[in-house]
Amino acid sequence: MTTLDIRTQAERPLARNMRLLAHHELNGFGAMGEGMSVQIAKDGRRILWLAHEAAPKNFTAVDVSDPRKPSVVIQTDLPSARMRSNSLDVVGDVMAVAYQTEDYGAPEGGMELFDVSEPERPRSISFFSAAGKHSRGVHQLWFADGEFVHMSAGAEDFHPHRPMDDQIYRIVDIRNPSKPVEAGRWWLPGVAVGDSEPLPPLDYPSFRGGGFRAHNTNVYPQRPDRAYLGYLDGGALVLDISDKSRPKLICRWDNSPPYLGFTHTTLPLFSRDLLVVTDESIRNNAEDWPKLAWVLDHRNEAAPLPISTLPLPPKEVFAKRGGRFGAHNLHENQPIPTAFKSDTFVIGTFFNGGVRVYDLTDPFRPEEVAYYVPPAPKLSPTGAVQLNDVFVDERGIVYTVDRHTGGLYVLDMNI
């Protein structure tokens, strides 16, 4: 098959046991990030909140009460062109939004809390600054219990040896949302100036974007004393946060080398004693292949053991389809009433590989049971879809977004 044939295929949808209910280009601002959350408004409307990958937009609210007829409620603008929101979460009527800047030291880096009790009129409650000389603000956050925000962020007083080791794990107490305060922090020993431990060497220094820094920072009510981190080139980590002021490392699983790092998400499946861990693809045309989703046996909390990977479609079909191909985000079983939760089915986005659903009934042999790959969006710079994130609501409706121009896709799944 020629590259031309593969690019032509990218213009057609691919589907198995998933059906497109609606597609919304979000008023021409369809470059979407990694923040998705569903709120039930006081008037009963179902509001999907979305973070944007890049300026000028900050966040978008979409009424998805009828999943076949999504409609934009509001879109807001960022305070600066050289920043992005990228990540958000909603609990009740409070939304936390991450602000990451392009430039180190920019004052906009941090987290803003909003009152979204009236979705048409989000009202700022407070701003928590994560700005500093060596900081780009907040990349990702996790807000699920209404009390604490867990984030990957820089800090005014954090000084890494290398610029790209700038994001650490921070816990912010927002029980008084008008005055958020740091409750604790942790970083991989050795990365900060002044650490007694040696600086860990970069596995692949020629790969732009790598580093020992926090990414996803998940905490669940099943184990509120644990934080499950993806730490990019540091691998998958589990921390003891029973004392939030002093997190402690319980285990670290790292597959790089020989694999190419950039561990993104660590998802616990509590009833199964499993972890699902994704390594994000960050290069076009599968130049960093393979970027996989791993299944780990976590019965021994101190020593997770890989037992399988989620099967992906053939590299030769998707590598030249356009843009990135490989693992990225998972639906993370968010502990909120509007989120689908399962310890058997895992749903993830794989850039030009679309959104895919896996059955882990037998964790040694995961089975792909559904997928949807949209056609290339209009004006896509890569010539193919780049599905970036996924959220599944408690009704089983799947929401997924494109990284560049495609906006929102609403799907149902038959599993």
Whole-number Å distance between alpha carbons of 318 and 403:
17
Mean pLDDT in each 10-residue stretch from start to end of the chain (415 residues)?
58 94 98 98 98 97 98 97 97 98 98 98 98 98 98 98 97 98 98 97 75 97 98 97 98 94 96 98 95 98 98 93 97 98 98 98 98 97 97 98 98 96
Which residue type does 18 have? M
Cβ neighbour number for residue 156 with a 10 Å cutoff: 14
Give the pLDDT score at 7. Answer: 54
pTM higher than 0.85, yes or no?
yes
Q: 94: alpha, beta or left, given left = phi > 0 and alpha = psi -120 to 50? A: beta
Distance set, CA 79 to CA 83, 84, 191 (Å): 8, 10, 31
Q: 27: alpha, beta or left, given left = phi > 0 and alpha = psi -120 to 50? A: left
Whole-number Å distance between alpha carbons of 237 and 169:
11
Give the pLDDT score at 330. Answer: 98
Give the pLDDT score at 12. Answer: 86
Give the pLDDT score at 208. Answer: 66
The answer to whether 355 and 371 are in contact (CB under 8 A) is: yes
Whole-number Å distance between alpha carbons of 143 and 136:
20
Q: Could you tell me which of 278, 185, 266, 178 has the C-alpha nearest to residue 223?
A: 266
Which residue type does 127 have? F
Whole-number Å distance between alpha carbons of 215 and 194:
23
Burial of 375 (0-12, 13-18, 19+ CB in 10 A): middle
Domains and CATH numbers, the chain: 31-334 (2.130.10.10)
- The long-range contacts involving 204-212, CB below 8 angstroms and separated by at least 24 positions, are 204/256, 204/257, 204/260, 204/261, 207/260, 207/261, 207/282, 207/283, 207/288, 209/164, 209/262, 209/282, 210/164, 210/261, 210/262, 211/162, 211/164, 211/165, 211/166, 212/165, 212/188
Distance set, CA 347 to CA 98, 159, 331, 360 (Å): 24, 37, 6, 11
